[in-house]
Amino acid sequence: MLSGRKRLQTENVFGKEREFFMQMTLRGYGSRVDTGTLQQIRQIPGVTGVSSTLYDTAPGDVWELDAILALKKEIEDAGLSLAGIESVNVHDAIKAGLPDRDKYIDNYIATLENLGKADIHLVCYNFMPVFDWTRTELARLRPDGSTVLAYTQEAVDNLNPEEMFSSISSDTNGSIMPGWEPERMEHIKELFEMYRNVDDEALFANLKYFLERIMPVCDKYDINMAIHPDDPAWSVFGLPRIIINKANILRMMKMVDNPHNGVTFCSGSYGTNLENDLPDMIRSLKGRIHFAHVRNLKFNSPTDFEEAAHLSSDGTFDMYEIMLALYDIGFTGPIRPDHGRMIWGEVAMPGYGLYDRALGAAYLNGLWEAIEKSHKNK
């Protein structure tokens, strides 16, 4: 489906010019969760697809082919494509390297097999212990009246893990936050005990074991596995974090050197550590970035940041340079604006209101068009 995609650049292959494309998408949470509809997403200029998942499945479950096809049909009936799965969550037994991990890896392989049969070729996932992401505020008020997700290390330092969920649960707007499901948070003590003896090296070893097991089915169906970085990019509550910087992600690429072992490049997650040079990281990962999440953060201090509008001047990141780096490496794949502000009175899942993400998509498409045209004229 090339309609609506932005032409990236051409490369001379055997004397012929080959075009590359990227696809602007949004994350979709399904009709039972999203306040914005697929029909509204389709009306955002230049957005032609969504990434989504099966929200009734638990980590470790096998995704049934009929359920995958139903999800795909719902999206395609709205005039969009299912650009990829975000996410097929990895069971904690796999991450922690427990004796029963092979059972859950077998189930993961069965899910990938069914995704391949459904002609789906991208899976975003993470390998973060316990918390998929961490924020200390879900509705920080900004001077313009919008509210945003925010994080302060000082707040985390004054909490114990069991208090983390209750400290933010009142600001969810009735949504179930992915990775923070109440039934999961009820077992937080057990989860921390599971990882008590897992350090960074053990987590790397467990990730390697997992990837080596799943690469054959990925090769069979041409499925790109795109690991999402840890958020924030440092240890929280003493838990190991490994997908945090250039050195670690290049280590991961080399330890399972298969083009299907790739990256979701999330500027907002890697960017939580101001020492990470985002454009340089992108250029170092040419051919291995399968999915891009592009968002902006505003830093009040190195350990106090909040989500910002995608416009560069509203935050800390140079969004033009991030998009230029993606262009320069010949990025092909879905890209989406990430966490937006809550604006214009919208009440929705924090970070995932429709309005500001629509503005973000339009802004990123505008940057892309300008970059593309400036390169044509050189």
Active site positions, annotated:
228, 266, 293, 338-339, 352
Give me the amino acid identity at 20.
Answer: F
CA distance 4 to 205: 41
Give all strands of the β-sheet with 296-301 in edge-to-edge order. 137-141, 147-152, 304-308, 296-301
How far is residue 255 from each of residues 26, 183, 264, measured CA to CA in Å?
31, 35, 17
CA distance 49 to 335: 10
**How buried is 202 (Cβ within 10 angstroms: 0-12 exposed, 13-18 middle, 19+ buried)?**
middle
Q: Is the dihedral of CA 196, 202, 205, 211 positive or negative?
A: positive
CA distance 187 to 193: 10
Distance linking the first and last C-alpha atoms of the chain: 29
Q: State the DSSP code for 154.
A: H
Contact 264, 228 (CB under 8 A): yes
Contact 228, 269 (CB under 8 A): yes
**How buried is 299 (Cβ within 10 angstroms: 0-12 exposed, 13-18 middle, 19+ buried)?**
middle
Q: DSSP string spanning 28-78?
A: ---TTT-SS-HHHHHTSTTEEEEEE--TTPPTTPPPPHHHHHHHHHHHHHT
- Would you tell me how many other CB atoms lie within 10 Å of the CB of residue 120? 20
Q: Which residues contact 13 (CB under 8 A, 6 or more apart)?
A: none
Nearest Cα neighbor of 276 from 332, 325, 330, 206 is 325
How far is residue 285 from each of residues 105, 248, 280, measured CA to CA in Å?
27, 12, 9
